[in-house]
Structure 1
Amino acid sequence: MSGLLAGKRVLVTGVLTEASIAFHAARLAQLEGAEVVLTGFGRLSLIERTAALLPKPAPVVELDVTDPAHLDGLADRLREHVDGLDGVVHSIAYGPPGAFEFLAGEWEDVSTAVHVSAYSLKSLTTACLPLLEPRGGSVVGVTFDATVAWPKYDWMGVAKAALESTSRYLARDLGPRGIRCNLVAAGPLRSMAAKSIPGFSELADDWHTRAPAGWDLTDPDPAARGIVALLSDLFPRTTGEIVHVDGGAHMMGA
């Protein structure tokens, strides 16, 4: 079998619909030769229907990244489908409505956003360690550039900054164990998740003028390609990095 991920076993979180970055990452990973397992939470029947649209059937394992019991049992449940992992894709983020009001944000909402969107990168990765070792592998997360204060994004922007820092610390601690950890920073996409972000249209509409290389709000493929490249062996000594696949908008001034 040929392909960038030939023979690799990859866990992909965050698939919900065909518009999800995670769906396109799973699709492209399969086309590049990987065996893919998905996780889902809540709307499992929808996720299973979406999984059926992939080039090959992919099992769906239930996972709530805030539930210690789910995390403790994840490796055993994954072993029902694969005998190990070579890659993990973290595409999980959530913020309650209160997380999008910076000055009015209460800790209960903020802590939920940070737990689900940032701490879960660490908890997911450590839950998968029994399957990643001893061969090692690649962990790839999805972020939204957190170096500036975006309009309307508020505490989710803080959560993304925490995600980016978490990735660097994972890269530090897991590098000696043969595990790389990197992030892909995508631009705004019209997805199910975007519908829960107040002011998303205001942010998204500005992206066309900010991105010198152009940006399509309906095309998750550039982000998926970045994820698959980082899962592959093309970057064997790259870790703790953020690869921007946002048309270059992150580098432009106000």
Structure 2
Amino acid sequence: MGILDGKNILVAGVTLNTSIGFATAKVAQEQGATVVVSNFGRAMGITRRVIKKLPTEPALLELNVSDEEHLAALPEQLGQHVDRLDGIVHSIAFANPETALGGKFLETPWSDVATALQVSAYSLTSLTTACRPLLGAGSSVVGLTFDASIAWPGYDWMGVAKAALESTSRYLARYLGPEGIRCNLVAAGPLESLAKRAIPGTETYNEVWDQRAPLGWDPKDFEPTARAVVALLSDWFPATTGEIVHVDGGVHAMGA
């Protein structure tokens, strides 16, 4: 038996197989879950090919979390594949690499800041709210962050967006807790994902982790992070909400 036996999980934001979303979908299936994944636009073709590599090819939905029509139609779309949702994985983030990342913090226009905040932080609420008719007591929402208590080189407005995401998760925990819905985040160390490659200067992060991670850190191994997400989706954390679980080899707890 797996820890997600009988559960239905939406993993929003799966693109490549080198992503936390993909790794989470894989581990969730291995632990017994029925998984539905989403992406949108031109990336749908890539996702459609990539998900064939999963143990079971999941249903793929088109979902742009910035599109109100997509969000309004989501419960009906999900209803074609599952009768309820037991968990949501928010694996979604975006900031314009030309203007909002890589050291351009002081010059970034509000329009690009607004996009980063909407897609990377507000969407945790909009996605959860859209799925709310299918969620019930015992369900779990899990998002992904990169320790927003630090001003990381080049991370710039994505760092601000992740700080907003972390606060958003705490407020969702407050307002959805009475319905028995938990909301937590996993803060992973730097992983060699498409998102990381889009951020100028992040190659230096690997040097930091090489020097400071007491458990060591493999930036190509997505499974430890995926396992933490799946654990939070399971019934093994029934009284944990508003939390940030670090999966970073211990760097967050170390001094200089």
Q: With structure 2 as the length reference, what TM-score do the two structures score? A: 0.96
Task: Give 1:102 deviation, angstroms.
Answer: 1.2
Identity %: 60
What's 1:221 paired with?
223
Task: Give 1:249 deviation, angstroms.
Answer: 1.0
What's 2:198 paired with?
196
What's 2:129 paired with?
126
Describe the superposition over 1:19-74 as per-residue Cα deviations: whole angstroms up to 9, x where unpaired. Answer: 11111100000010000000111211110111111001201000000000000110
Describe the superposition over 1:122-160 as per-residue Cα deviations: whole angstroms up to 9, x where unpaired. Answer: 000000001113x44000001000111111111111100
Moved >3 Å (runs of 4+) = none
What's 1:92 paired with?
92
What's 2:45 paired with?
45
User: Which residue type is aligned with residue 122 of structure 1?
Assistant: T
Describe the superposition over 1:222-245 as per-residue Cα deviations: whole angstroms up to 9, x where unpaired. Answer: 110000000000000000000000
What's 1:239 paired with?
241
Query: How far apart, CA to CA, are the structure 1 residues paired with 2:100 and 2:252?
Result: 22
Query: How far apart, CA to CA, are the structure 2 residues paired with 1:109 and 1:250?
Result: 29
Q: 1:141 aligns with which of 137, 143, 159?
A: 143
Q: Does the 8 Å CA contact 2:138/2:235 hold for their aligned counterparts?
A: no
Query: How far apart, CA to CA, are the structure 2 residues paired with 1:93 and 1:111?
Result: 13
Root-mean-square deviation (Å): 0.9
What's 1:117 paired with?
120
User: Which residue type is aligned with residue 148 of structure 2?
Assistant: A
Q: With structure 1 as the length reference, what TM-score do the two structures score? A: 0.97
Q: Does the 8 Å CA contact 1:14/1:20 hold for their aligned counterparts?
A: no
Query: How far apart, CA to CA, are the structure 1 residues paired with 2:237 and 2:193?
Result: 29
Query: How far apart, CA to CA, are the structure 1 residues paired with 2:205 and 2:113?
Result: 21
What's 1:73 paired with?
73
Task: Give 1:210 deviation, angstroms.
Answer: 1.9
What's 1:36 paired with?
35
Q: Can you give the 5+ residue segments of structure 1 that lack an aligned partner in the other structure?
A: none
